[in-house]
Structure 1
Amino acid sequence: MNTDAGRSLLRGRNLLIAAALIALFGAFGVRMWRFVAPPALPTLLEGLPESKTEADQQLFQARLAKRFHVGSTEVDDLIDELRSDGFTVDPDNDVATYERQADISDKCRRSANIHWSRGEGDELATITGGYSLHCPQH
C-alpha cells in the first residue's frame, strides 16, 4: 500500500511540474510574439508608398485634409484622435510626430509629422505635414 501512495504522490508532483513548465513556455511564447509583432501603424500612414516624390507627400496632405476639416474640426478632437492613432502630440507647439525604426518583422523605417494652427476659437485653421517611409531593397 505504501508503494501505491508513493506512486500517486509522484504522479501528482510530475503533473504539477508539467503544468508549471507548460505555463512557463506559454508565457515565454506570448512574450516573444509580442516582442516580434510590430506596433500598430497609424491609419494615416497605412498603405502609403515610399516617400520619394512630391506626389507621395501630396497624397499624405490629401489624407490629412480629408480626415481633419479646416474650419470645422476642433483642435482638441484632432489631438485626441492623433494620440489614439499612435502619434506623440505636443499641444503647446501644435505638432504631432510618429517614429518607428525598422525591426525584425518590418524592415521599413517610418516617420511622420503634422503641424496645425488654431482659428479664433478652438477650430482647426490650418494643417500640414509630411512623412518618410524607407524600405531597404536588399
Structure 2
Amino acid sequence: MALTNRKKKSRPVVQTPVSESRFDDSQEISDEKNENNLNLAEHSSKNYSKLATDFTTIDFDTQYSAKDRKTIKADPDIKSLIEIFSDFEGAKAYETLRHMTQYYYENNYDDRAQRIIASIQNNKFL
C-alpha cells in the first residue's frame, strides 16, 4: 500500500546559478577532440596509473593514500590470518596483501597470462 500512495516531493529550484567553471581559465580549450579528451583525463580524479605504452607489467610498489584504498570482504578466518601475518612481519595489512598478490601473480601464471592480467589491470585504471 505504501508503494501505491507515494506523494511526489517538490524538487528544489536553484535561485542563483553559479557562473564559475570547474576547470582553470588559464588553460586553452581547443576544439579538437583528442586534445579535449587529454585535458579531461588530466583533471580526472580516478586517473591512478600513469599513461604508459608498456602494459605488460604491474607495478606492485605504487603507494596510495588511505582515502584511495578500498575495503576487501573476506571470511573471518582469512582476515584473522592476514592480521597474524601482518603482525608477524610488522607490516600493515594492505602491504601484506600486496606481497601476497605479487607472489600469487608471479608464481601461479605463465608469461602469457601475466601479460593478459597486466593489460586488463592497466586498462582498468586509465
**Structure possessing the higher radius of gyration over alpha carbons:** 1
Structure with more strand by fraction: 1
Say which structure, 1 or 2, has more relative contact order (CA 8 Å, 6+ apart): 2
Fold equivalence (TM over 0.5)? no
TM-score, normalised via structure 1 length: 0.26
